[in-house]
A and B are shown apart, each in its own frame.
Chain A
Amino acid sequence: MTVLQRLFNFLSSYALATALLVLLFVYTLLGTLEQVEHGLYLSQLKYFESVVITQIDLGACLRALNFPTGDMKLPVLLPGGYTVMALFCLNIIVGGVIRIRKKPRTIGVVISHFSMAFMILAGGVSMHTKIEGNLSLLEGQTDDQFVSVDSRVVEIEQVEPAAAGGKRKVLVISDSQFSDLAPDGSSGKARQFTSAELPFDLTLQNYAPNAQIKRDDGADGRRDVVDGYFIQALPKDPEHGQNMPALHAIAKNKKTGETQQGILWLRAAAPWTVKMEEKTYTIDLTRRSWVLPFAVKLEKATREFHPGTQRPRKFESIVTKLQDGKEERKEIKMNEPLRTNGFTLFQHQMMSGEDLKRTENASVFQVVSNPADQWPLWSCIAVAFGLLLHFSMMLARNVGWNEWLVAGIVVGVVSAYFILALVKMY
């Protein structure tokens, strides 16, 4: 047996399938329980989007199950959720689609396996390509920019002299490139960023995932004070979007070696300004943002409650989509998003003018761009059909009915349903 054959056999084996399913089961359980203390964002990164897993917080999991316990962190070295999912997808394709004995009786199984692999693929595409953020508008307001809740960036922009033609040009450093520069346990860890367009190199260090900026009174003899202020780390909020990170930035003139220091903070009222070689730059730690290919104007935001309660019954926004001089009136409701130009706008939140102490109501839309948006729907239809076919035939065999008659009925009923659905839709 050649190495390739062995590899093929291994990848298509029940043993691998069972082991991967067990790992997925364990990760799903642990990831669910750890959310209680660590929040969704971090648990998701650790268990479901990771290449390897190096530690399990057993204490947090037990406490989530209402077992009072102390700190119990278990060091491990396991393939992460991303690795397991990729392997599982391969296992399904090799074992459940390619290697499986193809006979009329297994057609339902093949369809189901193929659909599941397609769904995992949709998850992968979504994870790598999906962008999402919020677009907040007051009634009468128009905007084309949406802002991420979780993802933060450092933006560097030359503001003086302004760029020719009034077009902004912003250099962006993603949070994946500075969020590991934590001061605890890795003192002095810093990273330098350089660009031919800048007269300085930018060094980032002392990243605090959640912080406040305090004025230094000189009593502690701190060395990390910048212009009389320092970064005071705060405990991390399990809701990642609620954290206010801060970091220490140093701009070093490429020619003279002269340095300027500043503190970047998500909540800062204004960006840090650096003047170098007759030019002025702003450097800002901010939420990542994207520009839509169209603008959205909020015409009316309606929020209704069940009478006499604070239980919302209806959220509805009437918007105008503005693109290339054309205007289109659209409605966005709960469960009825607006899908256009590859973006989907969901009704996310709504604030009354009374709450905001303004005359206008406000609406927050979640904006998502995901190429795999509808793939799970097709996959669901296929997997349901495959499983229904297979299990109906299995049931027929067991109770002594004609399995092909049953298969025919299932195919007929499902087809009729879809034809009716299509007729109703169009």
Chain B
Amino acid sequence: MKTLIIAAAIALGVCTLNAEPTLAQLRDPELVNAFATLPVQEAGRIKPLDTVARYRLLRFHGSRVVRFENPETKKADKLSSIEWLLVTWFKPDLAKSLPLFRVDNPAAITEIGGTAKDRMEGVKGKYTYRDIEPHRAKLMELAEEYRNLEPKNRTPIQRMIADLGVNILDYEMIVGHWDSFRSPFGKEPKLPEELAKALPPPHRIPTALPAVLKYVKDHPEAAAPMSNPWMMEFMKGALGGMMSGNQELSYRIFPPKVGATEKWHGPGWIIMEGLQTGEVTADDLAWLADYEKVFQATDDPVKFKAEAIALKSKIESAAAARNEGSTVKLEASYHKADYFYNAMIWFVAAIILLGTSWLIPASKWERWLTWISWAAVLIATAYTLTGITIRCIIMQRGPIATLYETMVFIAGTGALFGIAAELLTRRKLGLFIASLAGAAGLFLSIRFETADAGDTLVQLQAVLITNFWLATHVPMINLGYAACMVASIVSGLYVIVRLFNKNLAASDERLFLRISYGFLCAGLFLSLVGTILGGIWANDSWGRFWGWDPKENGALLIVLMVLITLHARMGGYIRDLGIHACNLLLGCVTVFSWFGTNQLGVGLHAYGFTDGAWDNIRSYWISQFILLGGIAWLKWRGKAAPAAAAEPSDLAEKA
């Protein structure tokens, strides 16, 4: 029987198809770890394959975990990013049935001719490839049309369709990643006679590639895929090997020899480059053969694992010889530890514990809860700072170079500021500020990462490659943001407390004022010095100290807002409530400077544009204006008058 199958396969001209591994085999921890820590060059740096899988999945799915019904156990199950990638590579049929593609608005599905899922049906807003496949032509047509529109002019549905089109194309390349090894000329190859003679089945890419290149050299017309179906299939396989239509995200896992080009090679790249230049090196063919061994071993779990580990070892050795890939394992462990998510959970726990402790004042439980809150805040801050430090080690640079990094940095430093305030005041307000600033900053960073769905560890532009300025100006400015946001948060808390507590003690009023005023002053120092340092950097990079660029102006707006508050207070034009009101406005200005200036789309600092960010910025502004309304109400009711009149010199003396 087996002989018959082989004979039939040979007759059909296809290579022998391996039996698919089972899901359980693909989830073998050793195998998963081998693939997760496989070094890959992508977007200009060496990273683990796990990072690639995480951000691909995040882009398609909006989450790093795929929940599905396991066909082998018939139970609800979930796949991690790397497991999902392995399933997509080695079990394409199952992969196509996973609820993978996130489409938030059903109207986008209806527009491409599909049937939007009912709220109760399957996983909400998640569609399988099989759901979308019948409408692929319409999707591609619309996606092409919407991609040509100015990003600012696209409606949310058009944006969704354009993104879905790109995602489907990339996904098809991932599903077809091993096609060059599975059947390089398609399932039913019809090769030209001369080539067929030179290439008796089974067709294997390491041997087929030189023959194809020779044939194309002798018959240049064969290189045209539209008129040569076999070439079309051959190129499709190569594109699958690249795993992305974006050249920068092309899959490169073979380190060249020491001293050769910096660019790593990948299975798809070797084939495409060969077709372009007509040549392929012996080293590249050896890499293809090694890669093929992994695919050929998929039907034998033990061999499969051994080949995967062997491939990884070979790549690691080749990378190490080039002094590359030393942080791959660290990066994989960084992702696995999920420092920022864990930190956020601890910060939230601290908020709940502190809130509970305020409900049972002056009790033994209150003391215990306070101590546990302290522990939670310290653990969360340690998590945050560890995550930031590991990122610095991986990238060999300062902590901030992208918008995402500003968020985690501000969350961490905001928490440190809160802890410092608590150490000085011992009234639990500092602890609460630390928890709130940390949780809010990290929540924001997680949302941003999900929306952006791109690797957050990015290589820098030439102008940013300067450790001195990245270690001085950038953290200074962000510490300024953190201090101003903390001042604003304290004032916001004060308004809320005053609105709900008519009999707030004078000492508590003073506490809120002193902490917010202290952070206001710290914000001035950090923002002013950070802004001037930025000017000095700009003078060295762009030839001018100040260029009225939106980001520069944003920093100046913060400084001016703080100076207005301080001078108005010194001149007696505002009192305590006025300071809190100005602090709320300062929060709005800081958010504009931090995020809003990036959205304007002009200037030299226009990085990190995010669709839909204006909605979030406006929501924050509205929340602050509601609090300002609260201050107006407090003023009108005369609730603030006694406190302000009784202690008019509290800050005048300090300033």
Residues of A within 8 A of B (CB): 13-15, 17-18, 21-22, 24-25, 28-29, 31-33, 35-36, 40, 43-44, 48, 64-66, 119, 122-123, 126, 132, 238, 305-315, 334-337, 344, 346, 348, 366-368, 373, 376-377, 379-380, 383-384, 387-388, 391, 394-395, 397-399
- Per CB-CB distance, the 4 closest pairs between chain A and chain B, nearest first, are A14-B571, A306-B44, A307-B262, A380-B532
Interface status of B600 (Cβ within 8 A of chain A): yes
Interface status of B341 (Cβ within 8 A of chain A): no
Is the beta-carbon distance between B524 and A28 smaller than 8 angstroms?
no
Is the beta-carbon distance between B532 and A379 smaller than 8 angstroms?
yes
Apart from A28-B560, A66-B614, A307-B262, 9 more pairs, CB < 8 Å = A21-B560, A21-B567, A33-B600, A40-B549, A119-B532, A122-B545, A310-B248, A334-B465, A387-B528
| C-alpha spacing A31/B548, complex, angstroms | 8
Residue on A nearest B536 in the bound complex, by CB: A377
Assuming the contacts A35-B602, A307-B263, A313-B459, asked whether A17 and B567 have C-beta atoms less than 8 A apart, the reply is: yes
* Chain B: minimal CB distance from A135 (Å): 12
Interface status of B229 (Cβ within 8 A of chain A): no
Is the beta-carbon distance between B463 and A334 smaller than 8 angstroms?
yes
| C-alpha spacing A21/B73, complex, angstroms | 69
| C-alpha spacing A319/B52, complex, angstroms | 42
| C-alpha spacing A366/B563, complex, angstroms | 34
| C-alpha spacing A28/B560, complex, angstroms | 9
Chain A contacts of B557 at CB under 8 A?
Answer: 25, 28-29, 32
Scan B611-630; emit 1 where CB is below 8 A from any A CB, else 0.
00010000000000000000
Chain A contacts of B540 at CB under 8 A?
Answer: 335-337, 346
Is the beta-carbon distance between A306 and B560 smaller than 8 angstroms?
no
Chain A contacts of B570 at CB under 8 A?
Answer: 14
Residue on B nearest A126 in the bound complex, by CB: B545
Chain B contacts of A29 at CB under 8 A?
Answer: 553, 557
Residue on B nearest A17 in the bound complex, by CB: B567
| C-alpha spacing A48/B547, complex, angstroms | 11
Assuming the contacts A14-B571, A24-B560, A36-B602, asked whether A309 and B465 have C-beta atoms less than 8 A apart, the reply is: no
Is the beta-carbon distance between A308 and B250 smaller than 8 angstroms?
yes
Chain B contacts of A399 at CB under 8 A?
Answer: 424
Is the beta-carbon distance between B543 and A132 smaller than 8 angstroms?
yes
| C-alpha spacing A36/B600, complex, angstroms | 7
Of listed A17, A24, A238, A307, residue having the most chain B CB within 10 A: A307
* Chain B: minimal CB distance from A18 (Å): 5
Interface status of B597 (Cβ within 8 A of chain A): yes
Is the beta-carbon distance between A40 and B536 smaller than 8 angstroms?
no
Chain A contacts of B463 at CB under 8 A?
Answer: 334-335
Interface status of B396 (Cβ within 8 A of chain A): no
Interface status of B247 (Cβ within 8 A of chain A): yes
Assuming the contacts A32-B554, A40-B602, A387-B528, asked whether A313 and B544 have C-beta atoms less than 8 A apart, the reply is: no
Chain B contacts of A388 at CB under 8 A?
Answer: 525
Is the beta-carbon distance between A306 and B45 smaller than 8 angstroms?
yes
Is the beta-carbon distance between A335 and B543 smaller than 8 angstroms?
no
Assuming the contacts A14-B571, A126-B545, asked whether A391 and B525 have C-beta atoms less than 8 A apart, the reply is: yes
Is the beta-carbon distance between B44 and A387 smaller than 8 angstroms?
no
Interface status of B556 (Cβ within 8 A of chain A): yes
Is the beta-carbon distance between A380 and B548 smaller than 8 angstroms?
no
Residue on A nearest B248 in the bound complex, by CB: A309
Is the beta-carbon distance between A311 and B461 smaller than 8 angstroms?
yes
Residue on A nearest B560 in the bound complex, by CB: A25
| C-alpha spacing A394/B524, complex, angstroms | 14
Interface status of B542 (Cβ within 8 A of chain A): yes
Contact of B556 among A18, A28, A40 (CB under 8 A): A28
| C-alpha spacing A308/B46, complex, angstroms | 11
Residue on B nearest A13 in the bound complex, by CB: B571
Assuming the contacts A36-B600, A335-B463, asked whether A391 and B521 have C-beta atoms less than 8 A apart, the reply is: yes
Residue on A nearest B532 in the bound complex, by CB: A380
| C-alpha spacing A377/B596, complex, angstroms | 28
| C-alpha spacing A366/B571, complex, angstroms | 45
Residues of B within 8 A of A (CB): 41-45, 247-248, 250, 252, 261-264, 424, 459-463, 465-466, 469, 514, 518, 521-522, 524-525, 528-529, 532-533, 535-537, 539-550, 553-554, 556-557, 560-561, 563-564, 567-568, 570-573, 596-597, 599-603, 614, 654-655
Chain B contacts of A18 at CB under 8 A?
Answer: 564, 567-568, 571, 573
Of listed B42, B247, B424, B553, residue having the most chain A CB within 10 A: B553
Contact of A308 among B252, B535, B544 (CB under 8 A): B252
| C-alpha spacing A397/B652, complex, angstroms | 13
| C-alpha spacing A318/B482, complex, angstroms | 42
Contact of A335 among B466, B546, B600, B603 (CB under 8 A): B466
* Chain B: minimal CB distance from A146 (Å): 11
| C-alpha spacing A6/B590, complex, angstroms | 37
Assuming the contacts A40-B547, A387-B524, asked whether A308 and B601 have C-beta atoms less than 8 A apart, the reply is: no
* Chain B: minimal CB distance from A348 (Å): 8
Assuming the contacts A18-B571, A32-B600, A308-B264, asked whether A334 and B541 have C-beta atoms less than 8 A apart, the reply is: yes
Contact of B655 among A305, A346, A373, A394 (CB under 8 A): A394
Assuming the contacts A335-B469, A387-B529, asked whether A368 and B543 have C-beta atoms less than 8 A apart, the reply is: yes
Chain B contacts of A40 at CB under 8 A?
Answer: 547-549, 602-603
| C-alpha spacing A18/B459, complex, angstroms | 43
**Residue contacts A-B, CB under 8 angstroms, 27 given:** A18-B564, A18-B571, A29-B557, A32-B548, A32-B553, A32-B600, A35-B550, A35-B603, A36-B602, A40-B602, A43-B548, A66-B614, A119-B532, A123-B546, A132-B544, A307-B44, A308-B252, A309-B43, A309-B459, A311-B461, A334-B463, A334-B465, A337-B543, A368-B543, A387-B529, A388-B525, A395-B518
Contact of A306 among B264, B459, B564, B601 (CB under 8 A): B459
Chain B contacts of A366 at CB under 8 A?
Answer: 542-543
Of listed A44, A309, A313, residue having the most chain B CB within 10 A: A309
Assuming the contacts A21-B567, A25-B560, A43-B548, asked whether A312 and B529 have C-beta atoms less than 8 A apart, the reply is: no
Residue on B nearest A399 in the bound complex, by CB: B424
Assuming the contacts A43-B548, A387-B525, asked whether A334 and B462 have C-beta atoms less than 8 A apart, the reply is: yes
* Chain B: minimal CB distance from A77 (Å): 22
Is the beta-carbon distance between B263 and A314 smaller than 8 angstroms?
no
Contact of B41 among A307, A394, A395, A398 (CB under 8 A): A307
Assuming the contacts A22-B564, A28-B556, A379-B532, asked whether A312 and B462 have C-beta atoms less than 8 A apart, the reply is: yes
Chain B contacts of A31 at CB under 8 A?
Answer: 548, 553
Chain A contacts of B568 at CB under 8 A?
Answer: 14, 18
| C-alpha spacing A337/B542, complex, angstroms | 9
* Chain B: minimal CB distance from A236 (Å): 15
* Chain A: minimal CB distance from B579 (Å): 14
Chain B contacts of A337 at CB under 8 A?
Answer: 540, 543
Residue on B nearest A315 in the bound complex, by CB: B462
| C-alpha spacing A123/B544, complex, angstroms | 10
Residue on A nearest B571 in the bound complex, by CB: A14
Chain B contacts of A307 at CB under 8 A?
Answer: 41, 44, 261-264
Chain B contacts of A22 at CB under 8 A?
Answer: 564
| C-alpha spacing A121/B247, complex, angstroms | 49
* Chain B: minimal CB distance from A291 (Å): 18
Contact of B533 among A14, A28, A64, A380 (CB under 8 A): A380
Is the beta-carbon distance between B571 and A15 smaller than 8 angstroms?
yes
Residue on A nearest B615 in the bound complex, by CB: A66
Residue on B nearest A23 in the bound complex, by CB: B560
Is the beta-carbon distance between B264 and A25 smaller than 8 angstroms?
no
